A and B are shown apart, each in its own frame.
Chain A
């Protein structure tokens, strides 16, 4: 039974549900493509080519995946403490805003100070944004879902105010001034001649964050306590773990990761804060976390998948006329299938848990 051992080691069984959901999602997409009279195989081939066709495309796909790694990680981390951080979108915006401020206003600092300071400011701002619903949950018992949604909208308004007001750059487009060179993350297009990609060192930060979070969750007392609270707050409480403290801590850390996502976009990908730059990275992060089973490795894989879909979608639209919104529909369908495990389980007939008789 060596094969079983390998399968168990690679945790391949864990992949069944996500792969099944992806397969079913693509199936639904194919049906829709047929309905509008196009060829699904051709469409998907175009999508794949658009995402991976040449080195530059691959770079673009990774660039599109970068914020998702971070937002997915942020959502996943909060889930580990039993928390639904739907507010990653607002947290990343606030983080980006802070980065925009520190990155454009503080002139005359050397890179070695300015860049870390900018990133740190993003993390602090987004941590505060996430801490508010966390504290309200811990102290007042208010469910974080509603509060984080509310904070998202407050963030939209705040960001709109600042970017069309105090931080607005001269000109028509609602954006901030360009980030000073000493606070920028280097883009691929800047040091590779063959590339026009905005893939930047932020992806390294994202991968580093995944490693740190993995270590934090499974190798430290902090992670032990957060997981204990997430799985069973009653037993955790008896074990001397402060449930409230960990709820707030988990939201703060989750927010900090979200802030990194905003920072990467502002000081890396775009080079300034452009109003409306996020097509919903925070919400896509929920899908990424789900698909990746709230594990850093899964998050990276799922983020690359979603990045592929988004990145390749444009070429698919150009080449075959299938609207890019199909990709959005695909993402939603995949979320449905992941969330409704039973559909996929039934489809592939995996083992169910045995019922206990008291």
Chain B
């Protein structure tokens, strides 16, 4: 085999932040025409490494060789100039402008003083055709789908002559259908000798698309392997450092009466588009119903309907027989529904409040914490001390602000608050996102405890392993519908994966 010169070599890159070494002597290379997956959990250092490559950050030490020449990449502008493009997780598109305007922004073709719109349209159309993209250059970005927006982002890099394209978790917001289309696009790009760095934590995708994979863990490189010589099991082991057996110990469920009845719920998202379509399911006391599904299939909106943060457009929700459809969060809370929100910084906590003030959020106007409108801070302090101990919240005192706690302790604070009011239904949405192993185990234990105490638990998670490990029954949500409900013992990763991909009866053709 004739050795091929790598198009990119990052050597001994180190980057430190005040609290952590994000990249510790990392070396990474990229061959022309390859898809190289960069794999790791949250916080492994993948994004930092690519931000260095794209000029958003500068390394503390190490060097970068691009096309065999050493370079110092000072800014994204510089990176773009030398042919490195990046598609971020959060798109950088301007919604009121058209696709073409977004693509040519900053490098607009001119006719004298004016912006040559006609030339821009033709250039963009030609480019799209060259790579097999199907877009309407005159459409406004605000009006197109997420998958389409991502294609616009890729076209942006191609318009500027990118040779190396970094894709940061590209499939995180795509439907399984769009993911498939993304892979087709990736293959057509490398066929034209582009090189792709594919940041992901989804091992199946790595196995399906990549030529090589580099695994990072805690800021260090664990290893680089050829895909043809490895497996998801091996990659997973490299990622986590031990045999990954999601070993959640739980006994069998003893479900009782129906606690939650959801009947034909329809709801819209913030853009007034249908997000939840005719969803019907039940959750009984003493069981955990897990809802599996790729994020963005209506789970968030469904949860908001159940917790009183969003009004459904039609349908009914009953709690122990009582109708709670469309009632406010306050009322539903009073009916003993607990909620672990997926974004604890946004929904879960008042970061500038103390821990004790956070612990009474929701019951702050009730006895014993309040007599009339006056808050009894002695009671609050006592309560806080009790909970801090019971839920093992690591903090110097109950009066420190919540934003000084670690993610795990913040989540424990949320858990403590929600569980202590003894809910009959617990809704847990992505409850272990961004947590370390210890915190994850704690949360899982608490959820099982609730179930064993006879509560109904509704678990929504994008982590299939978590759903499969914790749930007694599993529902799958796809494009706003519940497409299946299975017993956990009948569920396999294959079955769930297909359902999540929208494959129920016959596989759909790609458009």
Instruction: Name A's B-contacting residues (CB within 8 A).
Output: 219-222, 224-225, 227-228, 231-232, 234-242, 354-358
C-alpha spacing A241/B331, complex, angstroms: 11
User: Are B17 and A355 closer than 8 Å at their CB atoms?
Assistant: yes
Given contacts A219-B374, A222-B373, 10 further A-B contacts (CB under 8 A): A219-B375, A219-B377, A220-B375, A224-B365, A224-B375, A238-B362, A239-B329, A240-B328, A242-B328, A355-B18
Residues on B with beta carbons closer than 8 Å to the beta carbon of A356: 19
12 A–B contacts from the bound complex (CB under 8 Å): A228-B353, A231-B352, A234-B346, A240-B328, A240-B329, A240-B333, A240-B362, A355-B17, A356-B19, A357-B43, A358-B42, A358-B47
* A221 (CB) vs chain B CBs: closest residue: B365
Residues on A with beta carbons closer than 8 Å to the beta carbon of B351: 231-232
User: Are B364 and A221 closer than 8 Å at their CB atoms?
Assistant: yes
Residues on A with beta carbons closer than 8 Å to the beta carbon of B361: 228, 235-236, 239
C-alpha spacing A239/B350, complex, angstroms: 10
| CB proximity of A14 to chain B, nearest CB, Å | 15
Residues on B with beta carbons closer than 8 Å to the beta carbon of A222: 373
User: Are B346 and A221 closer than 8 Å at their CB atoms?
Assistant: no
User: Are A357 and B17 closer than 8 Å at their CB atoms?
Assistant: yes
Partner of B43, one of A224, A231, A358: A358
Residues on A with beta carbons closer than 8 Å to the beta carbon of B43: 357-358
| CB proximity of B236 to chain A, nearest CB, Å | 22
Residues on A with beta carbons closer than 8 Å to the beta carbon of B334: 240
Residues on B with beta carbons closer than 8 Å to the beta carbon of A354: 18-19
Q: Does B445 contact A (CB under 8 A)?
A: no
C-alpha spacing A175/B48, complex, angstroms: 67
User: Are B375 and A221 closer than 8 Å at their CB atoms?
Assistant: yes
* B360 (CB) vs chain A CBs: closest residue: A224
Question: Which has the most chain B C-beta neighbours within 10 Å: A220, A228, A235, A358?
Answer: A235
Interface size, chain B (Cβ < 8 Å): 37
Instruction: Name B's A-contacting residues (CB within 8 A).
Output: 17-20, 22, 42-43, 47-48, 307, 309, 328-330, 333-334, 339, 341, 346-353, 357, 361-362, 364-365, 370, 373-375, 377, 434
| CB proximity of B309 to chain A, nearest CB, Å | 7
* A224 (CB) vs chain B CBs: closest residue: B364
Residues on A with beta carbons closer than 8 Å to the beta carbon of B350: 228, 231-232, 235-236
C-alpha spacing A35/B329, complex, angstroms: 62
User: Are B341 and A238 closer than 8 Å at their CB atoms?
Assistant: yes
Known: A220-B375, A238-B347, A239-B364. A357 touches B19 (CB 8 A): yes
Residues on A with beta carbons closer than 8 Å to the beta carbon of B22: 357
Partner of A235, one of B330, B348, B374, B377: B348
Residues on B with beta carbons closer than 8 Å to the beta carbon of A239: 329, 361-362, 364
User: Are A224 and B341 closer than 8 Å at their CB atoms?
Assistant: no
Known: A219-B375, A238-B309, A354-B19. A231 touches B353 (CB 8 A): yes
C-alpha spacing A228/B374, complex, angstroms: 16
**Majority SS at the chain A contact face:** helix
| CB proximity of B235 to chain A, nearest CB, Å | 22
C-alpha spacing A231/B349, complex, angstroms: 10
**Across the A-B interface, the 4 shortest Cβ-Cβ residue pairs:** A240-B330, A239-B361, A221-B365, A354-B18
| CB proximity of B129 to chain A, nearest CB, Å | 38
| CB proximity of A9 to chain B, nearest CB, Å | 14
| CB proximity of B410 to chain A, nearest CB, Å | 12
User: Are B307 and A238 closer than 8 Å at their CB atoms?
Assistant: yes
| CB proximity of B324 to chain A, nearest CB, Å | 14
C-alpha spacing A355/B22, complex, angstroms: 13
| CB proximity of B305 to chain A, nearest CB, Å | 14
C-alpha spacing A220/B48, complex, angstroms: 45
| CB proximity of A122 to chain B, nearest CB, Å | 24
User: Are B347 and A235 closer than 8 Å at their CB atoms?
Assistant: yes
User: Are B370 and A221 closer than 8 Å at their CB atoms?
Assistant: yes
Residues on A with beta carbons closer than 8 Å to the beta carbon of B353: 227-228, 231
* A215 (CB) vs chain B CBs: closest residue: B374
Residues on B with beta carbons closer than 8 Å to the beta carbon of A242: 328, 330
Residues on B with beta carbons closer than 8 Å to the beta carbon of A237: 309, 329
Residues on B with beta carbons closer than 8 Å to the beta carbon of A238: 307, 309, 329, 339, 341, 347-348, 362
C-alpha spacing A220/B375, complex, angstroms: 5
Partner of A357, one of B20, B341, B373: B20
| CB proximity of A286 to chain B, nearest CB, Å | 22
Residues on B with beta carbons closer than 8 Å to the beta carbon of A228: 350, 353, 361
C-alpha spacing A236/B348, complex, angstroms: 9
C-alpha spacing A227/B347, complex, angstroms: 15
| CB proximity of A113 to chain B, nearest CB, Å | 28
C-alpha spacing A234/B361, complex, angstroms: 12
| CB proximity of A217 to chain B, nearest CB, Å | 11
* B376 (CB) vs chain A CBs: closest residue: A219
| CB proximity of B8 to chain A, nearest CB, Å | 24
Residues on B with beta carbons closer than 8 Å to the beta carbon of A236: 350, 361
C-alpha spacing A293/B330, complex, angstroms: 32
C-alpha spacing A29/B333, complex, angstroms: 56
Residues on B with beta carbons closer than 8 Å to the beta carbon of A231: 350-353
Residues on B with beta carbons closer than 8 Å to the beta carbon of A227: 353
C-alpha spacing A352/B262, complex, angstroms: 49
Residues on A with beta carbons closer than 8 Å to the beta carbon of B333: 240
| CB proximity of A119 to chain B, nearest CB, Å | 23
